[in-house]
Amino acid sequence: MKILYFDCSMGAAGDMLCAALLDLLEKPEAFVHEFNALGISGVEMALEEAESCAVRGRRVHVRVNGQEELALNGEHGRHSDHISQLRTLDEIMLLINALPLTETVRRDAAEIYRSIAEAEAKVHNKAASEVHFHELGSLDAVADVTAVCMLLERLAPDEIGASAIRVGSGQLSCAHGTLPVPAPATAELLRGIPSYGGEISGELCTPTGAALLKHFVKKFGAQPLMTVSAVGYGLGTKAFSAPNCVRAFLGEAEACSENIEEICCNLDDMTGEAIGFALERLLENGALDAYYIPIGMKKSRPGVMLCCLCKREDTQRLSELMLRHTSSLGVRVTGFRRTTLERKIEEIATPYGTVHIKTAGGVSKPEYEDLARIAREHDLTLGEAAKLIN
């Protein structure tokens, strides 16, 4: 299984994440050339090798109409109104949708900007459609988000993790005035994500960096057991007492082993429909698997045992859900350790729409929901639908 892990002990910004991912490529300049060919009006990306506290890495520069945001503003990527050509979420979406991107990259970029708009809207007490992106809406931020989405599609990790995010401390100046660090929008985006301040004064994690990590990273914590094949260093522009960089570790892990728990209850007074609905609700709310088994109960009554497998952090929530949707007065929880094969899901384009192909243990098969959709739309059996895409 291919794993990508971000070390965010010096925070994260869009350009730093982009540079770290570029540093993992054998020919990063070729990607920069490809990116510049997208045709984002007036935007040009450049890549340089640089150092921060004697640590070598790469730094990304984005110029808009020949000017770089840092040259216009002097500190930490504060975007100038001279290059803030995009103002609303709708305008940003129009630009992204007009670029020659894959469906996956376009969707990811749109969702990231939507999350930024929702965070800004909440902290400024307005609707997301009314948000004006004073900093985040400028073209260099669009370039950072789009490039990171493209790079992650190219690297195609099966799992993305990150450390707790260092946000910095003190205050920052922006279009809204002087704000505390982390900026309110950054703090909103990082809700539910491990973060800390530390002694360094300055904005270490930007809203763009927070939104990218929130969207792509599924696990935050210590670096997992992995065999590292490449390390990328994405440098920031400001000098600190420690190397100002995001590190990206790319490597492999074999079969994945993790601790899980099983939640069970015995039922003898519910209809089949009600049990089926409870099972569906468990799966819809994060159960790794859910099933029921026919059992014999006291007084020779036939019944079923409803079970679901889940991650430990989901046990309490799913236990309460099982109690809510069944007639049981209690549930049993048992701990297990499971090992799973490396798996990968790829999207393929067919004349019948996008189909997801799951591969594990050397065996590939299309996802059931995609086959079922094709079968319904064309009045076919599942077997006939499967033959259409082979």
State the DSSP string of 108-156.
HHHHHHHHHHHHHHHHHTS-GGG---TTTTSHHHHHHHHHHHHHHHHH-
Nearby residues of 106 by Cβ (< 8 Å), 6 or more positions away? 96, 97, 99
48/140 same-domain check: yes
203/325 same-domain check: no
172/283 same-domain check: no
Q: Which of 252, 271, 287 is the last residue of a domain?
A: 252
287/310 same-domain check: yes
Task: Show pLDDT as tens, one digit a residue, over the chain (390 residues).
Answer: 799 999 999 999 999 999 999 999 999 999 999 999 999 888 999 999 999 999 999 999 999 888 776 543 333 333 333 344 556 888 889 999 999 999 999 999 999 989 998 998 888 788 777 766 654 447 888 999 999 999 999 999 989 999 999 999 998 776 667 889 999 999 999 999 999 998 899 999 999 999 999 999 998 999 988 899 999 999 999 999 899 999 999 998 766 678 899 999 999 999 999 999 999 999 999 999 999 999 999 888 999 999 999 999 999 999 999 999 999 999 999 999 888 777 788 888 888 888 999 887 678 889 999 999 999 999 999 999 988 887
User: Which two tokens mark 383?
Assistant: 């077997």
User: Which two tokens mark 82?
Assistant: 């001279």
Q: Which of 338, 357, 379 is the last residue of a domain?
A: 338
Write down the pLDDT at residue 76: 38
Identify the domain containing residue 381 by its residue range. Answer: 343-389
297/357 same-domain check: no
Question: What CATH number does the domain containing 318 carry?
Answer: 3.30.70.1380
Compute φ and ψ for 312, nearest 5 degrees: -60, -35
Write down the pLDDT at residue 137: 47
Write down the pLDDT at residue 304: 96
Side chain identity at 325, as an amino acid letter?
Answer: H
Place of tokens 């808009």: 64
168/140 same-domain check: yes
Compute φ and ψ for 139, nearest 5 degrees: -65, -30
91/71 same-domain check: yes
**pTM for the structure as a whole:** 0.66
Please give the tally of structural domains in the chain.
3
Q: Which of 326, 336, 333 is nearest to 304 (CA)?
A: 326
Write down the pLDDT at residue 226: 86
The answer to whether the CB of 78 falls within 8 A of the CB of 85 is: no
The answer to whether the CB of 129 falls within 8 A of the CB of 90 is: yes
208/318 same-domain check: no
36/131 same-domain check: yes
Write down the pLDDT at residue 74: 35
158/188 same-domain check: yes
Q: Which of 212, 234, 252 is the last residue of a domain?
A: 252
186/41 same-domain check: yes
200/311 same-domain check: no
Write down the pLDDT at residue 373: 92
Provide the b/e sequence for 249-269 (b: ≥16 CB within 10 Å): bbbebeebeeebbbbbbbbee
